[in-house]
Amino acid sequence: MIHARTAACAVAVAAAAGLALLPAQAQAAGSVHLYKIYYDSPGTDTRSNASLNAEYVQIKNSTSRGVSLKGWTVSDAGNHRYTFGSYTLGAGKTVTVRTGSGSDTTYTKYQDRRAYVWNNTADTATLRKASGTKVDTCSYNSSRYDYKIC
């Protein structure tokens, strides 16, 4: 009888521990939110356009309809800000906002900067509507990884 209780307790503890290890869903379905920040571009930080463009933030629309991002901003803790022009992010789609220069496409936008935005060890991204209302934030504090899934 004691062995059965011990085994049952061990199973319960293992199950609870397993549940604790499962990743939490960052954002509920049906939102526009920060999805990923690639804050440390590969290799040496040379400020080349290729290196600057390897640093980016992604915004995902997990709603079932397109959402106008006109006037929305994404910024870092140092208030480096990118403002969307007239743009609608399609249902279920993701847009990548790269730091360097390039030609904007439907799902890739460029900040046209000549310096890095995202700190390599710690920073916070903030997504705001055109009204200034905060939609989402995503922070990281690690030099062990190059990106953060929000």
What residue spans define the domains of the chain?
Answer: 32-149
SS3 38: strand
Distance CA 139, CA 137 (A): 7
Please say if the pLDDT value at position 110 is more than 90: yes
pLDDT-derived band at 102 (thresholds 50, 70, 90) equals very high
pLDDT band at 30 (very low <50, low <70, confident <90, very high): confident
Q: Under CATH, to which class is 32-149 assigned?
A: mainly beta
Task: Extract the runs of DSSP E, i.e. beta strands, from 19-133.
Answer: 32-38, 56-61, 67-68, 73-75, 81-83, 88-89, 94-98, 108-110, 122-128
Give CA angle at 135 (129, 141), nearest 5°. 125
* Confidence tier at 6 by pLDDT (50, 70, 90): very low
